[in-house]
Amino acid sequence: MKGTVALVTGATGGLGKAIATGLAREGAMVAVVGRSMARAEEAAKSIGQLVPGARLEPLACDLSDQSSIRAAAAGFLSRHDRLDVLVNAAGVFRKERHVTPDGLELTFATNVMAYFLLTSLLQDALKAAAADGNARIVNIASRYGNTKLNFEDLQTAEGKYSYLRSTPPTMLARVLLTQEFAERLSGSGVVANAVHPGLVKDTALLHDVGGPFRWVTNTFGATAAEAADTPLWLATSPETAAVSGKLWTKRKQLPTPGMGSGPAARKRLWDACARLAGMA
C-alpha cells in the first residue's frame, strides 16, 4: 500500500489501533484519529514504535461533535487530495443518556451520525483515489439480530435509557448506511463494507458499562490484533476490491435479515441523518 492514504477513527486503542497499525505495516500513510490531539499523538507514537518508519499523521476529532468532525475533515483535506482507505472504527457504549452540543443523544451521535457525516465529507477524496483504481470504506458494525430502528425515537429519548436499548440499533444503522453508501457510490470505484468483529477483549469501549457483559467480553473475546484481520482484508486485499454493500465476519459474508435488507429503511435513515447534519 505504499503511496496510499488511509484514515482510521477510534485509532487510539483497541480494534481501531490494531487496524491503523496493520495499514501502516502495509505501507500506507495513516491518519490516526483520536478525541484529542494529545491522544492521537500518543497513539501515533505507539504505532510508530511497533512499525519503524511508519508514516503517521495524528488527527484530533471528537466524533460526537459535528463541528469537530467538519474541522477534522477540512484539516485532512487541506493536506491530502485523496483517501484510499477510510475505516470508521470508533464507537461508544454509555450507561447513561448524554446529550451532545448538537442536541443529539451521544451514542447515536458517535455511532451513527459520525459515520454518516465524516464519510460524506470525505467522499470526494475517496473518489479521487478511486480514479487510480479503487478506494474502500470499512465500517465496524455488529451482527444486529432482531434489532429494529424506531424511526420515531432514533435517539432513545422515550422510556428508560440503557445501553442495551441504545446501542444495538446503532449497529443496524451502520449496516444500513454502509449499504446506502455502497449504492450511492456504485460505479465510482469506491466500495463500502461493514464488519462484525465479534467480541474484542481489553478495550476501553466497555469501561463505562462494566458488569457481566464486560467480563464475558474480556474473558472470551478475541484480541484486537485477531479481530483486525477481516477489516484489514477488506481494506487491502485484491479479492475484495470490487465487493460492496456487504456485512462480513471472519472473511465470510453474513446475512442482513429484517430491516437490514430493506432499501426503504436505509433511505429513511439516510434522510434522517442528512437532516440532522444540516445536509438535507
Q: What are phi and psi of 194, to 5 degrees?
A: -110, 155
Alpha carbon distance 18, 223 (integer Å): 9
Q: List the beta strands (DSSP E) in 9-65.
A: 29-34, 56-60
Rounded Cα distance between 201 and 30, Å, is 24
Is the Cβ–Cβ distance between 90 and 72 less than 8 Å?
A: no
Provide CB contacts within 8 A for 158, sequence distance 6+.
none
Contact 126, 184 (CB under 8 A): no
Instruction: Please report where in the chains the cell 469501561 appears, as a residue.
Output: 207
53 DSSP assignment: T
Are 95 and 69 a contacting pair, CB within 8 Å?
no
Q: What are phi and psi of 74, to 5 degrees?
A: -65, -40
161 is an active site residue: no
248 vs 240: CA distance, rounded Å: 11
User: Of these residues, 115, 144, 161, 163, which one is catalytic?
Assistant: 163
Task: Report the C-alpha gap between 259 and 272 in whole angstroms.
Answer: 16
Pull the grid cell for residue 117. 457525516
Query: Bridge-partner residues for 135, per DSSP?
Result: 190
Q: Annotated catalytic sites, by residue?
A: 163
